[in-house]
């Protein structure tokens, strides 16, 4: 008897492939990252991120509403203030750009989760994620500023706080400050596993947040390390994170999978600016099919174990899925 295993039986038609498909993306999985700047009527495309913009608050409201229209119900905000200083004051100012943007969105957009990225690098003149002394980023003094930022964001109406700066103890510092201010119902989506990655380059152009000296390797993780990722995730879990993020996404699918298997919290992954820019650039040269590659990348990120995906493709993908 000539018995051949025939997996091709289940690949013969689009209908049967749909029947046996294991991983499906839906707009509910997606979080749309947006950059908000001062001014009015501003919609300035980021050079290295075609299709992504610096938006003034009025334009931001339109963009979030449009995304809502195609089914994207979560956005994460990054502030691009005009005024930056050594202590990142605008991050926690009551009338800082991000706080004003959150208020406007909560007022003018229905049923959309507004996630506030919690970091200082977009607000400091030196571009580092914390307070500097003698060329070093200080950990504990930075925690106080992150905590103040979280409370300011929650007071403005943020639905979720997403700390991204990788100081030790940032989740407990923020949890404590939120609870003390009566925001015990606001979840923390921790950037628990964030690598010191070259893939953030285009973001730093968008947020004008490149470090003015040195780099972020003393606080973001070494791309070579996987066991350390488990330790970082464990610490944030113990400190009370409600959700854990891995960032970047595609180069770190093994890490997404490992975090998924070890923890029962919702797991997020961030398809970062450089991942997006590479697809855009290759597509522009005609070397790849943009839609297909974007969909394949995002499907892979979900297949690896991410429940939530942050992606600049959120609205275009939602359109495609519709
Ligand atoms: C803030 C922050 C960064 C990103 C998200 N939050 C930049 C960085 O760490 O330099 C990068 C996101 C992206 O590249 O799309 N610390």
Measured from the Cβ of residue 238, the count of other Cβ atoms closer than 10 Å reads: 10
Closest CA to 164 of 93, 243, 89: 243
Residue 188: its H or E element: none
Q: How many residues does the chain have?
A: 322
- Residue 184 in tokens: 């015990």
Measured from the Cβ of residue 170, the count of other Cβ atoms closer than 10 Å reads: 30
Closest CA to 248 of 33, 22, 20, 10: 33
Q: Is 189 in the pocket of ligand 1 (CB under 6 A)?
A: no
Distance (Å) from CA 201 to ligand 1 centroid:
9
Q: Is 129 in the pocket of ligand 1 (CB under 6 A)?
A: yes
Distance (Å) from CA 204 to ligand 1 centroid:
7
Contacts of 47 (CB under 8 A, 6+ apart): 205
Distance (Å) from CA 82 to ligand 1 centroid:
18
Q: Is 203 in the pocket of ligand 1 (CB under 6 A)?
A: yes
Q: Is 165 in the pocket of ligand 1 (CB under 6 A)?
A: yes
- CB-CB contact of 101 with 79 (8 Å): yes
Q: Which atom of ligand 1 is nearest to the CA of 211?
A: 10
Residue 43: its H or E element: strand 43-46
Supply the residue whose CA is at minimum distance from atom 9 of ligand 1: 200
Beta bridge partners of 271: 311
Which residue among 54, 164, 252, 280 is best mutated to probe the pocket of ligand 1, counting the most ligand atoms within 8 A of its Cβ? 164
Supply the residue whose CA is at minimum distance from atom 12 of ligand 1: 272
pLDDT value at position 322? 86
Catalytic site positions: 194, 247
pTM: 0.97
Distance (Å) from CA 161 to ligand 1 centroid:
15
Which residue among 200, 270, 313 is best mutated to probe the pocket of ligand 1, counting the most ligand atoms within 8 A of its Cβ? 200
- CB-CB contact of 174 with 118 (8 Å): yes
Angstrom distance (rounded) from CA 91 to CA 184: 21
Q: How do the pLDDT tens digits run along the chain, 322 residues long?
A: 679 999 999 999 999 999 999 999 999 999 999 999 999 999 999 999 999 999 999 999 999 999 999 999 999 999 999 999 999 999 999 999 999 999 999 999 989 999 999 999 999 999 999 999 988 999 999 999 999 999 999 999 999 999 999 999 999 999 999 999 999 999 999 999 999 999 999 999 999 888 999 999 999 999 999 999 999 999 999 999 999 999 999 999 999 999 999 999 999 999 999 999 999 999 999 999 999 999 999 999 999 999 999 999 999 999 999 8
Angstrom distance (rounded) from CA 150 to CA 72: 24
């Amino acid at each position: 008897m000539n018995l051949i295993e025939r997996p091709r039986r289940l690949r013969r038609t689009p209908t049967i492939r749909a029947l046996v498909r294991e991983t499906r993306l839906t707009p509910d999985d997606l979080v749309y990252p947006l950059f908000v700047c001062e001014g009015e009527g501003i919609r300035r495309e980021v050079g290295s991120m075609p299709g992504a913009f610096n938006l003034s608050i009025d334009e931001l409201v339109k963009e979030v509403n449009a995304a809502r229209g195609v089914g994207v119900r979560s956005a994460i905000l990054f502030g691009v203030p005009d005024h930056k200083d050594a202590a990142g004051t605008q991050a926690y100012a009551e009338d800082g750009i991000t706080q004003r943007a959150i208020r406007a969105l909560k007022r003018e957009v229905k049923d959309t989760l507004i996630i506030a990225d919690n970091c200082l690098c977009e607000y400091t003149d030196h571009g580092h994620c914390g307070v500097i002394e003698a060329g070093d980023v200080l950990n504990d003094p930075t925690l106080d500023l992150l905590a103040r930022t979280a409370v300011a964001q929650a007071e403005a109406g943020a639905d979720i706080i997403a700390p991204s700066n990788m100081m030790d103890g940032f989740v407990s510092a923020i949890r404590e400050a939120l609870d003390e201010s009566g925001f015990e119902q606001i979840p923390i989506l921790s950037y628990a596993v964030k690598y010191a990655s070259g893939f953030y380059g285009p973001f730093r152009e968008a947020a004008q947040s490149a470090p003015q000296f040195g780099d972020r390797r003393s606080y973001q993780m070494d791309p070579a390390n996987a066991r350390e990722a488990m330790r970082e995730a464990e610490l944030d879990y113990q400190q009370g994170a409600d959700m854990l993020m891995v960032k970047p996404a595609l180069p770190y699918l093994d890490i997404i999978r490992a975090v998924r298997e070890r923890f029962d919290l919702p797991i997020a992954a961030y398809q970062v600016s450089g991942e997006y820019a590479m697809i855009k650039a290759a597509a522009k040269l005609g070397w790849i099919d943009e839609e297909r590659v974007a969909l394949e990348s995002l499907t892979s990120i979900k297949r690896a174990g991410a429940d939530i995906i942050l992606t600049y493709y959120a609205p275009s993908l939602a359109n495609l899925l519709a």
